[in-house]
Amino acid sequence: MDDIARRRKIIERGNNVSEIDELKKKLAMACRMLFVAELVDYSGHISVRIPGADRFLIHGHPVSRAEVTPDDIVTVDRDGKRVEGKWNPPSELPMHIRTYRARDDVQSVAHLHNRMVVVLSMADRPLIPASNPGGLFGPGPIPVYQDPALIHTNEQGDAVARTLGSADAAILRGHGSIVAGNSIEWTFAACIDLEESATRLYYASLLGPIRYYTDDELQRVSKGRRRMPVIQKIWDHYIAKARLAGFMEGL
């Protein structure tokens, strides 16, 4: 048995409790931090792949995103079936599951109902990098999934995954966005940057034509923005912000 197979067996037996508990805690923190950042409200979600297993963690459907605990996290399999946990998963789970199935590189997926990204999509304004938070995305406009219906079926989930392609984010017109990354921290930071870049683009558009980044500018900004210390700094800042706001109790 090779290392990966052995590891998978350990995880499937449920013996690797500390690693999974740690992921559940981190996911609960991310939910509350997304709430504090006003990127999710009573809806919206973030999930993570259990390393080495074809299973995923996501918070329960009815739980307020402001007070998710590790105990509220459910485990689902690659068909979206709940295999552990006390709640049903969110109804738009197919968006997560089908993205994981399409992208081996993705470890964490978030779905936001984020205001400014939606506002731009309502006016058919492309979200092209024109400020440093936008440097995490591009080059070119972030892809847009045109159907505003909620993502409740595998077919819809596949269509969203196709729109996302190899990108880090896609906009769901009139609905929100999907963000995919290689860790909870990365996906969380990208959620912050996505909404911030949309907000700046919106305000700048009130003043006149947008001066988008050139390929060279984007390349240099993106290089700095994608560094792990920057991602970690954003993550740590929002932990502090959520803690100061009183939203991290028990975590």
Nearer to Zn ion, 70 or 176 (CB): 176
Residue 22's closest CA among 246, 194, 231, 251?
251
Query: Footprint of Zn ion on residues 88-107 (CB under 5 A)?
Result: 92
- Secondary structure letter of residue 111 according to DSSP: E
Cis peptide preceding 139, ω within 30 of 0: yes
H-helix segments, the chain: 3-12, 17-36, 93-102, 115-122, 154-164, 184-207, 215-225, 228-244
Q: Quote the least distance from Cβ 125 to Zn ion, whole Å.
A: 20
Q: Quote the least distance from Cβ 38 to Zn ion, whole Å.
A: 15
Q: Quote the least distance from Cβ 169 to Zn ion, whole Å.
A: 14
3-state DSSP assignment of residue 222: helix
Nearer to Zn ion, 20 or 127 (CB): 127
Judge contact between 234 and 189, C-beta under 8 A. yes
Query: Footprint of Zn ion on residues 26-65 (CB under 5 A)?
Result: none
Nearer to Zn ion, 149 or 244 (CB): 149
Q: Quote the least distance from Cβ 76 to Zn ion, whole Å.
A: 17
Which range, of 86-94, 154-162, 187-195, 219-227, touches Zn ion by CB under 5 A?
Answer: 86-94
77, containing H or E segment: strand 73-77
Nearer to Zn ion, 92 or 185 (CB): 92
By CB under 5 A, name the binding residues for Zn ion. 92
